[in-house]
Amino acid sequence: MNQASMKKSAAQNQLNHFQGLSDQEASERLRVEGYNELPTRGSRTLSSISLEIIREPMFLLLVSSGLIYLMLGDAGEASMLLGFVVVIMATTIFQERKTERALEALRKMSAPRALVIRGGKKKRISGREVVRGDILLLSEGDRVPADGVLLSANELAVDESLLTGESVPVRKAARAEAEPEPKMQGPGGDDLPFVYAGTLVVQGQGVAEVQLVGEQTEMGRIGKCLEQLDPGKTWLQKQTKGLVRDLACLGIIICALVVIIFGLTREGWLNGILAGLTLAMAILPEEIPVILTVFLALGAWRISKQHVLTRRVSAIESLGSATVLCVDKTGTLTQNIMKVKTLYADQEFYPISFHDPRDSLPEKFHTLIEYSVLASEIKPFDPMEKALHQLRAYYLSGTEHIHPNWILAHEYPLSAELLAMSHVWKSTDSSRYVIAAKGALEAISSLCHLSQEENQRLTEQAEFMANEGLRVVAVARAIFDSKRMPESQHDFDFQFLGMIGLADPPRPAAAAAIKDCHQAGIRVVMITGDYPATARAIARQIGLTESDQCLTGPELSAMSEQESRERVTQVDIFARMVPEQKVRLVQALKASGQIVAMTGDGVNDAPALKAADIGVAMGGRGTDVAREVASLVILDDDFSSIVQAVRLGRRILDNIKKAIAYTLAIHIPIIGLSLLPLLVGWPLIFSPVHIVFLELIIDPACSVAFEAEPEEEDVMRRPPRNPKEPLFGRKLMLLSIFQGILALGLLAAIYGRAIFLGQSVERARTLTFTTLILINLALILTNRSWGGSLIESCCRKNKALWIILVSAPLLLGLVLWIPWMRQLFRFSPLGLPDLLRCLGGGLCSLILLEGLKLLFLPLSSS
């Protein structure tokens, strides 16, 4: 037996003896020593948020206005503004803290996971919960969560380039039992017994005891920080940056002109500066960055409630554009719960029922079951291998077909060239080696060198099982005398034993989710390593496609670039696929103009996930590598969760558009009423206190009410969004402008009529401002839904919206009826007829706005 084989056997035997820490010991160490994590730059404290608010232009404008009022001797107005400053700070801090909590929850969810032994049992925990003394189980694709010393290693190789810069993986060796516990050393070099936090296991398995966690690790000393969500500059931010910049520049120019004109024509420079500041507050589009920050952060949090973790904010934007979802059949479209249904050996089928007597199985099938298990992992994780172990335990327990003393000497893994794997076993009673192989029928047939006639007969039987929706696995055995293992499985003299048919039923929600995708204009492509017939049977059960066309991995690999580009647009079922061929599929789909979302779970799936527009990793059975390169992580591995994420992604983009449309529309009458008196010689309508009062309604409406708005009924009945389409298209911009102009016209008419009739400025201002508040609410109601009428939208639940609709009139009532507040706002009392006129103006605007929406309704998606 070679050295690697001995290590493999030792690792398997030791695994049963590790006890690890108890849950109580782990909890106590976690309490005393803290979490296994490094400080994140993304964490924002209350003081840092407050400092950011103080630097905001709106805050500076309010403070400047308050100082000018003090210089003018108006202490009451200054006090009111400073009071509003406190309210706005409190509101903003609440919104920012809510956003920060959502991001912190996502950071914790996206932390690498760890498999540990505690109390003698395997336990999957978050990497941040690993403590000193924990026993780690490491395997290919894992990200090491902490620094530790290896207790056992089987062909273990680790990529330490994150710490050393060396791209070549280093070989690891376990600490010798006779040696004293070694002191942790720096990374780099082969055959050392140390593993380090943040490094990647690229080959083999190992067991390690944690020595250092958190800032004490090698990564902590270097100052790296991995567990952090960094949204970066997204498409939405780029789209809105120009809009905000243009409006801000326009505001500065207009405000400067207002100050100059007012100072020269009305002989009051302080009042002119005050008028300019008022206009600046009216023009400043400070709500738009808030909309993006809050909507995307809370949107990612909402998506996580559907068992989907958003690792990159840009994925939320891309979800609305996805045209193709490429999904694995096993575990995503199906339940990943395998059951053996049929055995085939010596030209005879035998249906499996676990209700039959244990001794009812004919002898000819005993060997088939025996070698199918020998070709599987000793402690299987794969559902198919678990089913084979279950079958052996039921029928062969206590028989000579169980070999507890055999030693696994060598493994031949499955590869793209040969879809079969072999285990070489050494019997303690013989010098000979026994080889068990299982895999695809064509691969096992090749290993057994079957004749063309026999191969044809077996293929027909396999297709018969596959047409029943069964996954078919062929099994073979061989005997080998030499101690030197050959390079290839083909060098063994295999004997064909038979085939096993296993069933993996579709998930109950898969058919409905696929129907939703088709209605949304999203094509679903199924990828599997199974036979084409099995894939077609599952596709029929879930309603995947009307066509039975199927393309296999080898066929795809043999095609030219042009041919593959054409074929992938016509086929929705891809069978006999290996991870390397997924990359080819993604590239062909993207080359044909598709926006591709790709699922994957293994180390070899990482290139395909990275190549896709949206990489989707499986959280339950996926490796850390797949999770890290993916934009989304499906925590429950369920296809319907992906569809729910698409639904929520479309809803989030819709609500962002609605919030920005409302923001632009409401600013037009505010800006217009600030400028109009200067142009026609009327007294000023607004002062900073009025603008601030409006912001108390506008800000929550943008950042809370529209964010909580449910999706439109047709959200999954529209085609995907064109990724080249701007966030705020020309037609939507026109809709917002017309809404704003309509509101401005009504308000200007009310103010002008009052001035024309000789009413006081205070009365004209009160009538105009009261109507503006009602029109503001009308704009919120109108823009909350572009897919239905006002009556239909009122039936939709939105608690935050109704709080705003109730609180705004109540606040306005306090201002109108409390004398000292009325004086600060420079209002006059209003009687019932005046209030009815204002209410009539608000209702009139609501009717006109709804009519305008109906006019633009066919265009509102642009």
Which residue numbers are catalytic? 328
Write b or e for each residue in 613-648: b if 16 or more Cβ atoms lie within 10 A of its Cβ, otherwise e: bbbbbbbebbbbbbbbbbbbbbbebbbbbbbbbbbb
CA 809 to chain CA centroid, nearest Å: 39
At 126, phi and psi to the nearest 5? -70, 145
Does residue 628 sit in helix, strand or coil?
helix
- C-alpha of 637 from chain center: 13
The number of beta carbons lying within 10 Å of the beta carbon of residue 279 is 24
| 599 phi and psi angles, rounded to 5 deg | -95, 155
Say which DSSP state 702 is in: I
Report helix, strand or coil for 315.
Answer: helix
CA atoms within 13 A on the CB side of 61: 25
- Residues 100, 600: Cα–Cα separation, whole Å: 30
3-state secondary structure 713-759: CCCCCCCCCCCCCCCCCHHHHHHHHHHHHHHHHHHHHHHHHHHHCCC
CA-to-CA dists, residue 30 to 34, 134, 385, angstroms: 5, 11, 36
Q: Walk across the sheet containing 348-351 and list its strands.
A: 348-351, 339-345, 495-503, 470-480, 433-439, 420-426, 407-412
- What residues have CB less than 8 Å from 203, skipping those under 6 apart? 140, 155, 156, 157, 169
Determine the Cα–Cα distance for residues 710 and 651; give it in Å rounded to an integer: 7
The terminus-to-terminus CA distance of the chain in angstroms comes to 69
Distance separating alpha carbons of residues 522 and 200, to the nearest angstrom: 35
In three-state secondary structure terms, 677 is helix
Distance in angstroms (rounded) separating the CA atoms of residues 84 and 158: 58
Helices (H) and strands (E) in the chain, counts: 30, 22
Measured CA distances, 586 to 315, 480, 539, 589, 758 (Å) = 17, 42, 20, 5, 72
C-alpha span between 527 and 572 (Å, rounded): 9
At 400, the amino acid letter reads: E
Map 452-512 to HEC letters. Answer: HHHHHHHHHHHHHHHHCCEEEEEEEEEEECCCCCCCCHHHCCCEEEEEEEEECCECCCHHH
Give the contacts of 78 (CB within 8 A, at least 6 positions apart). Answer: 66, 67, 69, 70
Q: Residue 343: left (phi > 0), alpha (psi -120 to 50), or beta?
A: beta
| Cβ pair 534, 472 in contact under 8 A | yes
Determine the longest span between alpha carbons in the chain, in angstroms. Answer: 115
**Residue 94: Cβ within 10 Å count:** 13
Report d(CA 127, CA 139) in Å as an integer: 15
Would you list the DSSP string of 365-384?
HHHHHHHHHHTS-SS--SHH
* In contact, 617 and 634? CB cutoff 8 Å: yes
Q: How many other C-beta atoms can be found within 10 angstroms of the C-beta atom of residue 250?
A: 12
Q: Answer whether 685's CB lies under 8 Å from 760's CB.
A: no
